[in-house]
């Protein structure tokens, strides 16, 4: 791997530090709004204290929700400084805290007011909804937030299609927006405190602008600039198709094999939502390609895209790239259609890097792109070996013993893997058992992207 390629993907050492500093500063200001505006009467009784605590939960919970949206807003300098994978991880971990804190706010504020007014909880809820401005909008926002949060849990996501999950997840934007007026009109920390209101309004405006500019405006501009359109659709195997797209000056996208884009096709049932698919071949000046397995309505309907259909893209994203390797030998593991980014990244390694490619599939006919992989191996002048493991998990256990036998240099390699979760975890454990450090294990598991 060349020195220039490594520099391309190194993250500035201070990227995470300044992100943590700004996040902590914003959280400190948010908490300070509550502490500096609290009155003696706000803590004069148990129920008054409960109300004050509920407001703090609302502030911090909303701040976390806003921050979670900003983490996946695709802001360029944030992506470069922190890294896309790390941002998505933070987004996923932050979500439950926002959900629980806002839930605590609703619970405790009704409990506190009901205790002060000496009336049942259901009567207090109705009184709050009917006597305070924008409370119905706030309630709608709370319900939408709960829907988005619950649908993001693994068990819930496993039972719904990507399209359903995506639409529910988008409700988070509406949920946060609906809560704004209720907060600034009813919150004691905002009433009579213009600086607090200015800060809070600024956070909301920055979030909205980030979504409009970087999730909508720039992708549309870049897609139009590169004039990206469907060139043809190719059937690769049972239930697997490739979509080849043609455009101009595509190298300006700075994409690499192994990365993914969010794709929107200007066709019925395709324009509304963005779907993440990895490149299945290294990009060229005029062509991009994705290879997709029939896993739902959207992926199935890609086979019917017509040549000339306009394509809108967000990206490229992901750090599943050749530039992250640090060893002269790499092991590339692909499971099922997870071979697509592996196939693409094979073209990115240079300078005599030795490669062992392991392709797991249940059946012979599931070996999509096999001819291309064999061709790349044949052109590598002996630096690439391909291992086809066809059959059940019992026949080919992906444990340390098996992998060391298959690839003697496994423990001294950079390991790249893409495939179903169980396969990724099995190889991760094998790498751990062989003493492979975490910075030499690079994975891209199939899962919904939380964005």
What is the DSSP secondary-structure string of 261-274?
Answer: EEEEESSTTTSSS-
Indicate the pLDDT class of residue 8, thresholds 50, 70 and 90: very low
Residues 338 and 379 in one domain: yes
Which residues, 6+ apart, have CB-to-CB distance to 416 below 8 Å?
Answer: 258, 320, 325, 330, 331, 332, 333, 342, 345, 442, 443
**For residue range 278-308, what is the model confidence (pLDDT) as tens digits?**
999 999 999 999 999 876 656 778 888 999 9
Q: Average pLDDT in the 146-154 region?
A: 83
The CATH number linked to 394 is 3.40.50.80
Residues 361 and 247 in one domain: no
Residues 31 and 161 in one domain: yes
Residues 186 and 232 in one domain: no
Which residues, 6+ apart, have CB-to-CB distance to 142 below 8 Å?
Answer: 102, 106, 175, 179
Q: Average pLDDT in the 364-380 region?
A: 91
Indicate the pLDDT class of residue 208, thresholds 50, 70 and 90: very high
Residues 48 and 182 in one domain: yes
Residues 180 and 297 in one domain: no
Q: Average pLDDT over the chain, rounded to whole?
A: 88
246 inside domain: yes
Higher per-residue pLDDT: 324 or 446: 324
The CATH number linked to 237 is 2.40.30.10
DSSP-derived 3-state class of residue 65? helix
Q: Average pLDDT in the 213-231 region?
A: 91
pTM of the model: 0.78
Which residues, 6+ apart, have CB-to-CB distance to 65 below 8 Å?
Answer: 98, 102, 145, 172, 175, 176
**Residue 393 confidence (pLDDT) above 60:** yes
Task: Report pLDDT for 450.
Answer: 36
Closest CA to 66 of 153, 183, 165: 183
DSSP-derived 3-state class of residue 14? coil
Residues 341 and 409 in one domain: yes
Query: How far is residue 244's CA from residue 229's CA, in Å, rounded to a whole number?
Result: 9
Residues 292 and 340 in one domain: no
Residues 79 and 187 in one domain: yes
Residues 211 and 297 in one domain: no
Higher per-residue pLDDT: 86 or 227: 227
Indicate the pLDDT class of residue 148, thresholds 50, 70 and 90: confident
**Residue 11 confidence (pLDDT) above 70:** no
451 inside domain: no
User: Which segment of 103-107, 293-297, 426-430, 431-435 scores lowest on mean pLDDT?
Assistant: 293-297
Indicate the pLDDT class of residue 15, thresholds 50, 70 and 90: low
Task: Report pLDDT for 297.
Answer: 57
What is the domain range of residue 126?
A: 3-222
**Residue 257 confidence (pLDDT) above 50:** yes
Task: Report pLDDT for 371.
Answer: 93
450 inside domain: no
Q: Average pLDDT in the 413-440 region?
A: 93
């Amino acid at each position: 791997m060349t020195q220039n390629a490594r520099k391309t993907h190194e993250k500035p050492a201070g990227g995470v530090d300044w992100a943590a500093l700004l996040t902590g500063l914003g959280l400190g200001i948010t908490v300070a709004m509550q502490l500096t505006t609290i009155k003696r009467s706000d803590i004069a009784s148990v129920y008054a204290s409960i109300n004050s605590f509920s407001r703090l939960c609302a502030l911090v919970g909303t701040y976390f929700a806003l921050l979670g949206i900003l983490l996946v807003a695709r802001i360029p300098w944030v992506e470069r400084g922190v890294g896309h994978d790390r941002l998505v991880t933070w987004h996923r971990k932050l979500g439950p805290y926002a959900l629980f804190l806002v839930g605590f706010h609703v619970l405790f504020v009704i409990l506190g007011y009901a205790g002060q007014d000496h009336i049942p909880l259901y009567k207090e809820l109705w009184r709050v909804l009917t006597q305070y401005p924008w409370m119905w909008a706030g309630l709608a926002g709370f319900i939408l937030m709960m829907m988005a949060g619950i649908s993001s849990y693994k068990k819930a996501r496993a039972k719904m299609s990507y399209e359903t999950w995506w639409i529910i997840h988008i409700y988070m934007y509406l949920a946060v927006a609906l809560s704004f007026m209720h907060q600034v009109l009813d919150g004691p920390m905002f009433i009579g405190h213009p600086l607090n209101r200015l800060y809070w309004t600024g956070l909301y405006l920055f979030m909205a602008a980030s979504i409009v500019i970087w999730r909508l405006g720039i992708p549309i501009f870049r897609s139009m600039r590169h004039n990206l359109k469907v060139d043809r659709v190719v059937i690769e195997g049972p239930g697997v198709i490739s979509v080849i797209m043609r455009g101009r000056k595509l190298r300006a996208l700075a994409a690499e094999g192994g990365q993914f884009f969010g794709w929107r096709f200007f066709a019925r049932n395709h324009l509304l939502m963005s779907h993440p698919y990895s490149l299945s071949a290294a990009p060229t000046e005029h062509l991009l390609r994705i290879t997709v397995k029939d896993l739902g309505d959207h992926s199935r309907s890609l086979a019917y895209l017509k040549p000339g259909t306009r394509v809108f893209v967000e990206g490229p994203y992901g750090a599943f790239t050749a530039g992250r390797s640090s060893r002269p030998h790499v092991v590339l593991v692909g499971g099922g259609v997870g071979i697509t980014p592996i196939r693409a990244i094979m073209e990115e390694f240079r300078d005599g890097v030795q490669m062992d490619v392991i392709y797991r599939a249940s059946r012979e006919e599931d070996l999509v792109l096999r001819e291309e992989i064999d061709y790349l191996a044949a052109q590598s002048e002996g630096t690439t070996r391909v291992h086809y493991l066809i059959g059940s998990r019992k026949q080919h256990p992906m444990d340390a013993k098996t992998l060391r036998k298959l690839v003697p240099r496994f423990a001294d390699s950079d390991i790249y893997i893409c495939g179903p979760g169980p396969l990724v975890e099995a190889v991760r454990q094998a790498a751990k058992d062989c003493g492979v450090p975490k910075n030499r294990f690079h994975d891209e598991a199939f899962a919904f992207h939380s964005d």
